[in-house]
Amino acid sequence: MESVWVNLVTAQASQEGTMSVIRIILETRGVVLAAVLLLVLLSIVSWYIIGYKWFYLRKARQESEAFLDHFWKSKRLDAIYQSLDRFEDAPVGQVFKAGYIELSKLKESGADGDSESMRRRLSGIENVERALRRAVKAETTHLESKVSYLATVGSTAPFIGLFGTVWGIMIAFVNIDMEGAAGLDVVAQPIAEALIVTAFGLFAAIPAVVGYNFLVSRIKVQTAQMDNFSDDFLNIVKRHFFE
């Protein structure tokens, strides 16, 4: 019976503490309120970016794997090119598209057996390689879009929280000076607001940093996959079209 009573008292105290924190948040004003609202906004956008990029990278990985499977099973490059509509979100597919278009331009220019044709072939290999490299950079940039925001939030949110903390403590000292006393009723509210801003800063920063590291690791995998495919595609082009 005593144990049950203790549990009820503890639960009630915990609930009252939670309500007190909510009350303090609702009663914040001025600079502290602005800092809290800014951190909440940064956190909401961060979570949106984390969710959006996670789904996008997941889809890109799945379509890239499907494209690679289709590529290695196919025997004609033109057939692969015509089926690219099925792999619109595959970064590897876009790299192939850039290389194939450049290769098609070279094939249309024709080939002779003279030295001029040999020089054209050598420059053609370089053109295909540059097209693949540009496509990899473009797709990497597209994959990395919006991710830098998470790094910005992760590095700035704690400082915004620290600013709110310093401001709240400063207000506490101003209240002490005005009241001429340092009682708990004088400093409790501003110090509590200061600590709450610190908590909001960490709440915004920690998920942003974790999400940034997670997404960057996924993007590195996609970039390595595109680099490997570029090397394989270039080897195929050299072996079948420039020998």
* Cα distance between residue 79 and residue 73, in whole Å: 11
Q: 201 lies in a domain?
A: yes
Is 59 part of any domain? yes
User: Quick check: is 7 in a domain?
Assistant: no
- DSSP string for residues in 165-234: HHHHHHHHHHHHHHHT---HHHHHHHHHHHHHHHHHHHHHHHHHHHHHHHHHHHHHHHHHHHHHHHHHHH
Kindly state whether residue 8 falls inside one of the protein's structural domains.
no
Q: Which residues contact 102 (CB under 8 A, 6 or more apart)?
A: 127, 128, 131
* Per-residue pLDDT reduced to its tens digit, 85-102: 888 889 999 999 999 888
The pLDDT score that the predictor gives to residue 127 is 83
Listed in sequence order, the residues at least 6 apart from 5 whose beta carbon sits closer than 8 Å to its beta carbon are none
pLDDT at 6: 34
Residue 15: predicted pLDDT: 46
pLDDT score at 19: 47
CB 53 within 8 A of CB 146: yes
Q: 30-73 and 147-179 are packed helices; what angle lies between their axes, rounded to 10 degrees?
A: 170
Number of domain units in the chain:
1
| Structural domain harbouring 173 | 30-241
40-55 exposure pattern, b = at least 16 Cβ within 10 A, e = fewer: eebbebbeebbeebee
With CA atoms as reference, report the closest residue to 107 among 99, 79, 94, 115. 99
Answer yes or no: is pLDDT of 240 > 90: no
Lowest mean pLDDT among 17-31, 163-177, 181-195, 202-216: 17-31
| 110 pLDDT more than 70 | no
226 or 171, greater pLDDT: 226
pLDDT of residue 242: 59
Chain mean pLDDT for the chain: 80
Cα–Cα distance, 127 to 50 (Å, whole number)? 37
Three-class SS of residue 110?
Answer: coil
Query: Does the residue 11 lie in any domain?
Result: no
CA distance 146 to 56: 12
Q: Is 127 exposed, middle or buried (0-12, 13-18, 19+ CB in 10 A)?
A: middle
115-144 and 184-241 helices, crossing angle to 10°: 160
Domain assignment of residue 129, yes or no: yes
Residue 22 lies in a domain: no
DSSP one-letter code for 113: S
Identify whether the C-beta of residue 237 lies closer than 8 Å to the C-beta of residue 96. Answer: no
pLDDT of residue 2: 44
What pLDDT does residue 143 have?
A: 93
Span of 15-29, 66-80, 128-142, 212-226 with lowest mean pLDDT: 15-29
Q: Which amino acid is at 124?
A: G
Confidence of residue 1 (pLDDT cuts 50, 70, 90): very low
Any residues with CB less than 8 A from the CB of 115 and at least 6 apart, and which?
none
Higher pLDDT, 218 or 164: 218
